[in-house]
């Protein structure tokens, strides 16, 4: 029985690595790679050209660069947070990168995201969704931080998984957008659908993983 359970757990681990963590890691690193050129501060990027008037505002211009730096850093740091090897063998890396992640989200990423949401592309629904993302990212991260201060490890993991789900919308949005673009979906509709799919989809995946992890945790008391 124990052997069968061990085999099942290993199979699940291989499945998660192959079909979840490898794609997530690849597209996260790809996003970071594609973000770096923005720090040449060139105005030749299509995103900047589309919002040329907004970029004339010093606060919007500064918020943009702060936000993409924060997002790039948080996505990279989060990959370290969910590494079981680092958590077990290099705990100091987990602790310090986690602290920096929290500071960057609460002081840089979420506030600038909230400000920029008022000028987001799309209608009121999409702007409202961006506001929800920024506020949720802040709230989830704060709850994760306060939970670990209270030594509530399980609650900390749950809230940080939700925080990461919000950070990862920057990655999943681009994946959905490329797929729908290849399917010849009109650009405006593509943008709106990809945005909603990334936010709702990420939250659903996070809640599924939370349920799955909690079920496995509770099972240890009944076997």
Provide the pLDDT for residue 222.
38
User: Residues in the chain with pLDDT < 50?
Assistant: 1, 218-223
What does the alpha-carbon distance between residue 52 and residue 158 come to, in Å, rounded to a whole number?
40
pLDDT at 223: 41
pLDDT at residue number 77: 80
Beta carbons of 199 and 133 less than 8 angstroms apart: yes
| Confidence (pLDDT) at 138 | 97
Domain ranges (residues) in the chain: 14-219
Helices 124-149 and 153-167 cross at an angle (nearest 10°) of 150
User: What is the rounded CA–CA span in Å between residue 53 and residue 75?
Assistant: 29
Stretch (H or E) spanning 8 = helix 2-16
For tokens 């594609």, the residue is 34
pLDDT for position 122:
86
Mean pLDDT, all residues of the chain:
85
**Spatial distance between the Cα atoms of 101 and 98, rounded to a whole number of angstroms:** 5
Whole-angstrom distance, CA of residue 170 vs CA of residue 70: 12
pLDDT at site 6: 53
């Amino acid at each position: 029985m124990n052997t069968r359970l061990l085999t099942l757990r290993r199979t699940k681990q291989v499945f998660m690595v192959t079909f979840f963590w490898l794609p997530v890691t690849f597209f996260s690193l790809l996003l970071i790679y594609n973000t770096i050129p923005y720090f040449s501060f060139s105005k030749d990027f299509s995103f900047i050209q589309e919002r040329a008037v907004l970029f004339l505002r010093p606060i919007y211009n500064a918020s943009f660069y702060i936000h993409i730096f924060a997002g790039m850093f948080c996505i990279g740091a989060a990959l370290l947070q969910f590494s079981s090897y680092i958590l077990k063998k290099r705990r100091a890396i987990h602790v310090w990168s986690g602290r920096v992640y929290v500071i960057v989200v609460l002081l840089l990423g979420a506030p600038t995201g909230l400000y920029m949401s008022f000028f987001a592309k799309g209608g009121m629904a999409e702007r409202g969704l961006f506001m929800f993302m920024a506020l949720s990212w802040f709230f989830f991260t704060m709850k994760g931080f306060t939970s670990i201060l209270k030594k509530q490890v399980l609650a900390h993991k749950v809230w940080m998984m939700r925080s990461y789900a919000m950070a990862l919308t920057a990655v999943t949005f681009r994946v959905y957008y490329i797929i729908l673009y290849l399917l010849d979906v009109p650009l405006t509709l593509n943008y709106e659908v990809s945005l909603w799919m990334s936010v709702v989809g990420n939250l659903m995946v996070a809640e599924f993983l939370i349920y799955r992890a909690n079920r496995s945790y509770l099972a240890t008391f009944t076997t």
